[in-house]
Amino acid sequence: MGPQSEEEWSRNQSEQTLFDYLSYDLRILKSVGIPATGITSPVDFGKGNEQNYVNAVMNAVGDVSEANVSWYFLHETDGEPAKLEAQVHLKSGEPQGCVHIPGTVPDFMMHLFNKPHSAGCFQEIADLYISADGTRGVIVDQIQANSEVISILVHWPALYTNGRYTGIRLLREVLRRMKEHFSDVSNLDDSSSIVKARGLQYKVEDVSDWNVTDGGVGIMIGRWYRGNPALPYLWIGKNHEFHR
């Protein structure tokens, strides 16, 4: 244990140090059969040092899990609709991508620790996500605003709820309501599936000919709507010139 919190420590580390740290984590997971393809940032680990953090995530996942597209959680949108953001870099002439998946739905389940475990409390918190009739709630607002991804932020203690598993039951009820009212537009995926479904398992044949020396390749993802690719392409550009 050190004098700093993990997130404070991360703000002043080099890309190499963060790479070593994350690679160690990923190797532990791999050794027990979990080929992790991304990083969930504890608190705001990496914030204020994000470019080094992104590079470290991308390289650590590529090195340990042998995946050329990685992802990470860090920022929240405070309930607002979100767009997926990605960066493309070169490693030994091969393109690598790292996608930021924002948390779009706050962790309302943490309220379970401050309120009595009654049926009324359960319904009150579930309604913050999506009401029983499917007309209100943060998730409803984001679906209607065509958010590219809806990511529900949940902390494990809230799901476990001191052994009562109230959070698990609440999440099950939220997903049931989504299936009832928005089965045509919603689908529950893991992070790797989200990244792949959004067209980010890309193949770029001419990136190495652009002589990019500092990873300065931009990427813009086509907009996705109702679970299907409305614009099934990837724009990759250099010097503000984007190519289909």
Per-residue pLDDT of the chain (244 residues; tens, 9 = 90+): 778 899 999 999 999 999 999 999 999 999 999 888 899 888 899 999 998 999 899 899 989 988 877 888 888 888 787 776 666 555 555 667 788 888 888 889 888 887 766 778 889 999 999 999 999 999 999 888 888 778 888 888 888 888 888 889 998 999 899 989 988 776 777 777 766 655 444 433 333 333 333 333 333 333 333 333 333 333 333 333 333 3
What pTM, to 2 d.p., does this model score?
0.72
Collapsing DSSP states into helix, strand and coil, what is residue 209? helix
Q: How far is CA 62 from CA 30, 138, 167, 242, in A?
A: 13, 35, 34, 26
Task: Confirm if 222 and 199 have CB atoms less than 8 A apart.
Answer: yes
Q: Residue 26: what pLDDT?
A: 96
Q: Give the pLDDT score at 108.
A: 92
pLDDT of residue 217: 37
The pLDDT score that the predictor gives to residue 93 is 55
Return the structure tokens found at 244.
């289909």
Asked if 186 contacts 134 with a C-beta cutoff of 8 angstroms, the reply is: no
Terminal C-alpha separation, the chain: 49
Residue 165: how many CA atoms within 13 Å on its side-chain side?
Answer: 4
Start-end of H helices in the chain: 6-10, 15-31, 50-64, 119-129, 138-144, 156-160, 166-182, 191-197
What is the rounded distance in angstroms from the CA atom of residue 4 to the CA atom of residue 57?
21
Closest CA to 241 of 222, 216, 223, 213: 216
pLDDT computed for residue 117 by the predictor: 67
